[in-house]
């Protein structure tokens, strides 16, 4: 025989259960999920790192030196030297080395044809898949007049070129 005492306690228990479920739902639904699209914070840090490395390379080594390392690399079109120095600075950490990769272009103006051209300076390595979350960092470089032989491919005149580096973490 079922008796009807304690009905209010049962109702209270049901109400408490509903309130607890509701609380759990609210707590879980208010925290957002970090998706691969939300990479703004690592991107921001990577961009700062890349521009700092370029700024460092664009600083002359001594007060009376003629130009910076970056200027020398671009002037001589020395892509391997540029790549190893850039990645060396980028991947330098206190512990194990970081795993950053890069490619670089130099944009220049062909004064004879008056068109903007792009020179592939450093090709991306084999780890490039096309789906990296890469950031772009840039630095202006001013090249001096060079009489002969004409500097390939920028030409001999004094000019400003833009070094653009794509940087990503593999």
Partner 1 sequence: MACMNEDGQWIVLMGLLAALALFFLALIINQSALVGQTTAEGVLEFPKSDIRDLRTAIFDYVDKFGNTVDPDSQAVREDITRISLERKNAVVGFTVGTPQDVSGRPLRPVTIHYYNGVTEYDETVYY
* 3-state DSSP assignment of residue 8: helix
The single residue among 18, 76, 92, 111 that binds partner 1, judged by CB under 8 A, is 111
Could you tell me how far CA 50 lies from the centroid of its own chain?
6
Q: What is the Cα–Cα distance from 40 to 45, expressed in whole angstroms?
A: 9
* 47 contacts: CB under 8 Å, gap ≥ 6: 135, 136, 137, 167
Q: Which stretch binds partner 1 (CB under 8 A): 72-80, 86-94, 125-133, 141-149?
A: 141-149
| Minimum distance, C-beta of residue 15 to partner 1, in the bound complex (Å) | 12
Give yes or no for residue 159 binding partner 1 (CB under 8 A). yes
Tell me which DSSP letter residue 81 carries: H
Give yes or no for residue 116 binding partner 1 (CB under 8 A). yes
| Minimum distance, C-beta of residue 95 to partner 1, in the bound complex (Å) | 25
118, β-bridge pairs: 107
Q: What is the Cα–Cα distance from 140 to 73, expressed in whole angstroms?
A: 13
Positions that interact with partner 1 (CB under 8 A) = 5, 8, 19, 23, 26-27, 30-32, 34, 38, 40-41, 43-44, 47-48, 51, 58, 107-109, 111, 116, 137-140, 142, 144-145, 157-162, 164
């Amino acid at each position: 025989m079922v008796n009807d005492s304690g009905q209010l306690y049962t109702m209270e228990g049901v109400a408490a259960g509903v309130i607890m479920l509701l609380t759990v739902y609210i707590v879980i639904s208010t925290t957002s999920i970090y998706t691969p699209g939300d990479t703004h914070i690592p991107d921001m840090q990577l961009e700062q790192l890349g521009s700092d490395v370029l700024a460092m390379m664009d600083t002359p080594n001594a007060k009376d030196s003629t130009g910076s390392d970056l200027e020398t690399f671009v002037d001589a079109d020395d892509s391997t030297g540029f790549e190893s120095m850039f990645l060396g600075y980028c991947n330098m950490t206190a512990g194990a080395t970081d795993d950053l990769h890069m490619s670089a272009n130099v944009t220049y103006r062909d004064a004879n044809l008056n068109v903007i051209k792009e020179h592939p300076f450093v090709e991306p390595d084999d780890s490039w898949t096309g789906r990296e979350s890469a950031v772009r960092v840039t630095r202006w470089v001013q090249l001096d007049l060079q009489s002969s032989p004409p500097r390939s491919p920028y030409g001999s005149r004094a000019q400003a070129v833009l070094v653009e580096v794509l940087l990503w973490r593999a």
